[in-house]
Amino acid sequence: MFRLNENYLKLPGSYLFSTIGKKVGAYSAAHPDKKIIRLGIGDVTQPLAPAIISALHKAVEEMGHGETFRGYAPDQGYDFLRNAIADNDYKARGCDISADEIFVSDGAKCDSGNIQEIFSVDNRIAVCDPVYPVYVDSNVMAGRTGSYDRARETWSNVIYMPCVAGNGFVPELPKETPDIIYLCFPNNPTGAAATREQLQEWVDYACKVGAVIIYDAAYEAYISDENVPHSIYECEGARTCAIELRSFSKNAGFTGVRLGFTVVPEELKCGDVQLHSLWARRHGTKYNGAPYIVQRAGEAVYSPEGKEQLKAQVAYYMKNAHYIYNGLKAAGFTVSGGVNAPYIWLKTPGNMTSWEFFDYLLEKVNVVGTPGSGFGPSGEGYFRLTAFGSYENTVEAVDRIRTLL
């Protein structure tokens, strides 16, 4: 008789977004006249830029003619896209990354969940707390995390690195030595960014202890500070210790279109085995490539018109971020993030728990955000607001929240 992968049964239910949905549903059923504004969404709302739409149309048309029809894409992605990525995201920033080191995929969530497959189940992972849940849950499924402590909401075989006000929401080097380190900057959910010096310290540490860093740079396009690196490969030595994940979701609105990529440098080795060859094998065996149409849309992200239009799109969201940050700060709230990321991390007032503040905001001013405790124990007492709404709704929500203090 078949048996289950029992690791799946260890996963605690992820009640965060379903609980939010239920609470908001119950409130709006009881108060149908109230206009609820949602600043909890982690999804973009602006339509695809014209340069991308026109590339999509053109590629669709090509698929309808025998001479230009394309079937399976190359495993690692089309050269036109991988070259555009290597030139624009890496060479233009002085990073020595070649097209051959880029693996095109259907997004960073899948890649961040799948990448752990090429590592032994004995490896010990280190994650930020609070954290994007995929890194931990995918390792739970693989059987790498030990047992779950319900009271503390932590796994016995995971090294948690608290990201709190005291360290500016950038973790300190862990006391125990991890094998795999997950880092995401600019960060979801805190909106914090690591400086070049801070990230260099992590690269030096990983090289010293023989750990690999899995660096999620999904929010790279939101960076405004000069001293915040866009890629981990801006740090010396990163080619021997780091894998980088990127996505077209947040910089170009591809959350529903689906496109991302992973960079695995040739020098990244375990003994004399290249991780590049293992990931290539995994990709070739289990993945048949991102759609041609979508890869052409991705190419348009790097065209002069595409770049211009997407700069404006990111600026639109960041104008929201600044309005939230400045408005709440002026009103007396303690806020961080919002400078290099579309997330504002708000300290709940009056020592309310994250969920108490959620209920309070919903009932008093009809604004929805995300309780920080949903991202990990160190998120307790915090609240995430996102800049992905419309400007009008953002202004109205902030003006309502300001009346509370």
Ligand X SMILES: *Cc1c(COP(=O)(O)O)cnc(C)c1O
Residue at shortest CB range from ligand X: 107
Q: Residue 108 interacts with ligand X (CB under 6 A)? A: yes
Cβ at position 260, least distance to ligand X in Å: 4
Of 47-55, 101-109, 273-281, 285-293, which segment contacts ligand X by CB under 6 A? Answer: 101-109
Contacts of ligand X in 124-163 (CB under 6 A): 132
User: Quick one: which segment of 14-22, 28-36, 200-208, 247-255 binds ligand X (CB under 6 A)?
Assistant: 247-255
Nearer to ligand X, 179 or 244 (CB): 244
- Which member of 253, 260, 327, 372 binds ligand X (CB under 6 A)? 260
Closest separation in Å from C-beta 6 to ligand X: 27
User: CA 121 to CA 397: how far, in whole Å?
Assistant: 46
Binding mask 339-368 for ligand X (x = CB under 6 A): ------------------------------
Using rule CB under 6 A, residue 190 touches ligand X: no
Q: What does the per-residue mask of binding to ligand X show for 216-245, with x meaning CB under 6 A?
A: x-x---------------------------
Question: Does 247 engage in binding with ligand X (CB under 6 A)?
Answer: yes
The residue among 59 and 218 lying less far from ligand X, judged by its C-beta, is 218
Which residues from 6-45 bind ligand X, rule CB under 6 A?
none
Q: What is the 3-state secondary structure (H, E, C) of the chain?
A: CCCCCCHHHHCCCCCHHHHHHHHHHHHHHHCCCCCCEECCCCCCCCCCCHHHHHHHHHHHHHHCCCCCCCCCCCCCCCHHHHHHHHHHHHHHHCCCCCHHHEEEECCHHHHHHHHHHHCCCCCCEEEEECCCCHHHHHHHHHCCCCCEECCCCEECCEEEEECCHHHCCCCCCCCCCCCEEEEECCCCCCCCCCCHHHHHHHHHHHHHHCCEEEEECCCHHHCCCCCCCCCHHHCCCHHHCEEEEEECHHHHCCCCCCCEEEECCCCCEECCEEHHHHHHHHHHHHCCCCCHHHHHHHHHCCCHHHHHHHHHHHHHHHHHHHHHHHHHHHCCCCEEECCCCCEEEEECHHHCCHHHHHHHHHHHHCEECEEHHHHCHHHCCEEEEECCCCHHHHHHHHHHHHCCC
Strand partners, 345: 336, 384
Q: Is 107 in the site for ligand X (CB under 6 A)?
A: yes
Instruction: Find the binder of ligand X among 82, 239, 250, 384 (CB under 6 A).
Output: 250
Q: Which stretch binds ligand X (CB under 6 A): 49-57, 107-115, 169-177, 389-397?
A: 107-115
> Is residue 184 near ligand X by the rule CB under 6 A?
yes
Q: Nearer to ligand X by C-beta: 82 or 250?
A: 250
Please say which residue, 109 or 276, places its beta carbon nearer to ligand X.
109
Identify which of residues 333 and 382 has a Cβ nearer to ligand X in the complex.
Answer: 382
Q: Name the residues that contact ligand X, by CB under 6 A.
A: 107-109, 132, 184, 188, 216, 218, 247, 249-250, 255, 260
